[in-house]
Amino acid sequence: MKKIAVLTRDCAGVNAAIRSVVRTAFEQGIEVMGVMRGYDGLIDGELVSLDRRSVSGILNHGGTILKTARAKRFFEESFQRQAVKTVQDNNIDGLIVIGGNGSLMGAHVLASKYGVPVVGIPATIDNDVNSVDLSLGADTAVNVALDALDKIRDTATSLERIFIVEVMGRSCGYIALQLALAGGCEEVLVPELSMDINGMCDEIKEGNSKGKVSWIVIVAEGKAKAHDISGIITKKTGFETRVAVLGHIQRGGRPTALDRIIAAHLGNYAVEVLKDGSSDCCVTLKEGKPVTIPLEIAIRPKKLDVNSYYWLIKILT
């Protein structure tokens, strides 16, 4: 193996993974190209050369130095063929794809349909890659959200108010559940669970009658809009509410130590397995050891054990 390329999505820890890939490859005498702007850059042949120095000083930065895009064109076969042509024209022997479900689905297409050697590194704040305990970026996202939540709690307690905090997660309640548990929140609304808004309002009224005056409700963006929930609570309980939508602050930011450590291991292991001939798989840590998972399994829907989380959140508040 003489030359590989790396293609990314963005979240905290991705730069640390690029650094690990580049420096591991360099150690093995393998040249590394960076694909700019995700699959769009692969289609358009937008590649840059990466050497040891070009990844200096990026370990502690969020986002991706390679920039990224949601490349809708890649769903079309003609553009897939153009992407494969970029790989062939540039004599790329293997590709490392760092990203979430969409990126890994693209990686699976390249490997299974066109025979491009591809290894993925799961990286998504949603932590919804099947068979993967912890994707890159998820730990940072929860910690960023927790930092914001602790500040909101100060005001909620001081002013004896109800806050509705909206977090990311279009079809997955991972961040919401982690945050509710770590932040001691009273209620959490996630796409995986049905919502009993009347029951929640009754609980708030009952709690209030017993002297409980401040509440924090976490809502995953894919379940409902915080402003709508706030309106319903005010209407049904008569209590004033406030809303905080955390949004994209959760995806960026300085990666936690855990995300950097995972990135170091997985970047290194991805190069090793690609060099040894593995493809159509992604790498992850199981009990602290790097392992591979077929992409065909990783891209299946992940089932989160929401019920036990929810139960614990409720008994601890």
Provide the binding-site residues for ligand F6P, judged by CB under 6 A. Answer: 70, 100, 124-126, 168-170, 221, 251
User: In this structure, what token pair is assigned to residue 211?
Assistant: 């002297």
CA torsion, points 136, 141, 129, 269, in degrees to nearest 10? 10
Give the type of residue at 283: V
Q: Taking a C-beta distance cutoff of 8 angstroms, is the pair 15, 252 a contact?
A: no
C-alpha 215, offset from chain centre: 27
Kindly state the tokens that stand for 267. 């970047």
Distance in angstroms (rounded) separating the CA atoms of residues 164 and 185: 10
Q: Which is nearer to ligand F6P, 4 or 168 (CB)?
A: 168
- Report, in Å, the least distance between residue 191 CB and ligand F6P: 11
Is the Cβ of residue 47 or residue 132 nearer to ligand F6P in the bound state? Answer: 132
**What is the C-alpha separation between 79 and 197, in angstroms, rounded?**
46
47 or 224: CB nearest ligand F6P: 224
For the CB of residue 11, give the shortest distance to ligand F6P in the complex, in Å.
Answer: 7
Tell me how far, at minimum, the Cβ of 130 lies from ligand F6P, in Å. 15
Q: Which of 10, 126, 128, 280 is catalytic?
A: 126
User: Residue with the closest Cβ to ligand F6P?
Assistant: 168
What's the rounded Cα separation, in Å, for the pair 109 and 85? 14
CB of 109 vs ligand F6P, minimal distance in Å: 19
By beta-carbon proximity to ligand F6P, the closer residue of 10 and 203 is: 10
What the block records as the tokens of 252 is 């960026």
> Which helix (H) or strand (E) element contains residue 316?
helix 306-316
**Active-site residue, 40 included:** no
- Distance CA(209)–CA(173), nearest Å, equals 30
What DSSP element (H or E) covers 216? strand 215-220
Query: To the nearest whole angstrom, how small is the minimum distance from the Cβ of residue 195 to ligand F6P?
Result: 18
Q: Which two tokens stand for residue 261?
A: 């450590």
Closer Cβ to ligand F6P, 204 or 262, answer by number: 262
Q: Could you list the active site residues?
A: 126
